[in-house]
Amino acid sequence: MIILKHFKVDDVSYVSHKDILRVLQRGLKRANVDVKYSQGYVPHMLTYTTTPVPLGVQSVAEYFAVECNGVDKDEMLVRYNASMPTGMRAVASFYRDKNPNLAAIVTASDYEAVCAKVLPKEIESIAECQSYIISTSKKGEVVQKDVAPLIYGLRVENNKLFMRLASGNANLRADSVVNHLNEKFGIDIKINDICRKAQLVGEKGNFIDVEELLK
């Protein structure tokens, strides 16, 4: 199995996850990669991704695993980059005998958000709260959610906000957090100016970057 770490930036950040899956699979066809298919009634390509970023959020740390024959990880990187739309470029590739099931083991993501203006330092204190309720959207409905256990860190440097948020099975959407901060602090961080920088495994205080894990 080959795992690619790739970007999802610029125009394609506005493409939904469902559509991205099709873009990835078409890319593999163009790349002439011999992908393995499921054995079911309607065979489908054996490809795997991690929890997607919300629509509009950019990422330089997406992971895409594919079961395939006849191509090594370095060749795969080259072919992938020649076959994807601009905005989706692979930066590293890894080989594993078995599926590492990244979707199940990723527990957090690091995000960086850029604002046109300097951001207030008070934002950082939210990460220290025992309980912190924000409004989030769930299946089109606004719900109140205690996000304190899902925020692992918030740091402000001038006009940049760094967030470490729960990802995977227990997930906190970066856009929900930013929308809340925009409203509470009267700031204007655009959703498209948020970028996922890394995906992590482990637990609070002991996180490891997925890329390190795969190396």
Partner 1 sequence: MWDKLKDILLQVQKPARYVGGEYNLPDMDKPCKERVLLCFSDKYEVGMSNIGTRILYHMLNDMQDIVCERCYAPDLDMAQLLRKNALPLFSIETKRDAKSFDLIGFSVQFELQFTNIVYMLDLMGIPYYASERGDEYPPIVAGGPCVVNPMPFAPFFDAVLIGEGEKNLKELTLLHIECKERGLSKQEFLLRASKLDGVYVPSLNNPTKRAVVKDLDSAYYPTKILVPNCDIVHDRSSIELFRGCANGCRFCQAGFYYRPIRERSVDTLVRQACELMDSTGYDELGLLSLSTSDYSGLKELVDRIKVEADKRKIKVALPSLRLDSFEAEIYEEIQGASLTFAPEAGTQRLRDVINKNINEENILSSLTAAMKYGVKNVKLYFIMGLPTETQEDLQGIVDIVHLIKSLHAQYGTSKLLNITVSTSIFIPKPLTPFQWERQISMQEMLDKQAFMREKLRLKNVKYSWHGAESSIIEAVLARGDKSLAKTIVKAYELGCVFDSWSENFDYGKWLDAFELSGVDYQKFLDGFDEDEELPWDIIDNGVTKTYLLKERHKAYEGKCTPNCLKKCNGCGANRLERCRI
Residues that bind partner 1 (CB under 8 A): 10-12, 14-16, 19-20, 22-23, 25-30, 32, 55-56, 83-87, 190-193
Kindly tell me which of 190 and 204 has the beta carbon lying closer to partner 1.
190
Per DSSP, helices labelled H in 42-140 are: 73-83, 102-105
Alpha carbon of residue 24 to chain centroid: 15
Distances in whole angstroms, Cα of residue 78 to Cα of each of 46, 85, 157: 20, 14, 36
Which of 10, 212 has the CB closer to partner 1? 10
Closest CA to 107 of 9, 5, 26, 198: 198
Q: Residue 213: name the closest of 198, 192, 193 by CA.
A: 198
Closest contact distance (angstroms) between CB of 101 and partner 1 is 26
- The least CB distance from residue 211 to partner 1, in Å, is 25
Neighbours of 40 (CB within 10 A): 7
- Tell me whether residue 146 or residue 183 sits nearer to partner 1 (CB atom): 183
Q: How far is the CB of 199 from partner 1 (least distance, A)?
A: 22
Give the position of tokens 């409905």: 141
Beta carbon nearer to partner 1, 55 or 104: 55
Q: What's the min distance (Å) between Cβ of 20 and partner 1?
A: 8
* Least CB distance to partner 1 at residue 6 (A): 14
For partner 1, the closer of residues 56 and 149 by Cβ is: 56
Alpha helices in 35-114 (DSSP H): 73-83, 102-105
